[in-house]
């Protein structure tokens, strides 16, 4: 169960680290951070990956000790209790690792890019 509890935070840290360094080369509908806004232009695609990568890495790092602590409390307990605690932790991880990064990244995309995927810095300088 410990492996299951740590799987999502570690995966997010690995993906986050990768995306902070570089986004998938081409905009595609099958891998990477895919949203309507992130796929408008190569600039918005690269920005979204760098941004969400940083969030995933930090949130994954924070979630590891927060996930381990409750598991220590059920150490040596019955399998049902351990499973229940693990299930609760994995469900709770969905918020900081799944929902919050999407909201923050979409907000940053909306702030930094227009509806066509052009950087607000570029569109105001033209």
Residue 13 CA to residue 28 CA, distance in Å, equals 22
In this prediction, residue 125 carries a pLDDT of: 52
> Residue 121 — very low, low, confident or very high, per pLDDT cuts 50/70/90?
confident
* One-character DSSP codes across 17-79: HHHHH---SS--SSSSS--TTTTS-HHHHHHHHHHHHHHHHHHHHHHHHHHHHHHHHTTTS-H
**Residue 20: is its pLDDT beyond 60?**
yes
In this prediction, residue 97 carries a pLDDT of: 85
| Residues whose CB falls within 8 Å of the CB of residue 92, separated by 6 or more in sequence, listed in order | none
Residue 119: what are its φ and ψ, rounded to 5°? -60, 135
Number of domains in the chain: 1
The 10s digit of each residue's pLDDT in 31-87 is: 899 999 999 999 999 999 999 999 999 999 999 999 999 999 999 999 999 999 999
Domain with 97, as residue range(s), is 2-125
């Amino acid at each position: 169960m410990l492996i299951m509890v740590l799987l999502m935070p570690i995966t997010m840290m690995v993906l986050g680290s990768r995306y902070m360094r570089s986004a998938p080369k081409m905009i595609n509908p099958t891998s990477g951070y895919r949203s309507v806004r992130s796929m408008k232009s190569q600039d918005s695609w690269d920005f979204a990956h760098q941004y969400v990568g940083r969030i995933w890495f930090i949130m994954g790092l924070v979630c590891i000790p927060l996930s381990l602590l409750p598991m220590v409390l059920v150490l040596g307990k019955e399998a049902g209790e351990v499973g229940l605690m693990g299930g609760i932790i994995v469900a709770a991880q969905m918020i900081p690792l799944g929902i919050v990064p999407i909201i923050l990244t979409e907000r940053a995309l909306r702030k930094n890019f227009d509806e066509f995927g052009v950087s607000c810095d570029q569109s105001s300088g033209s």
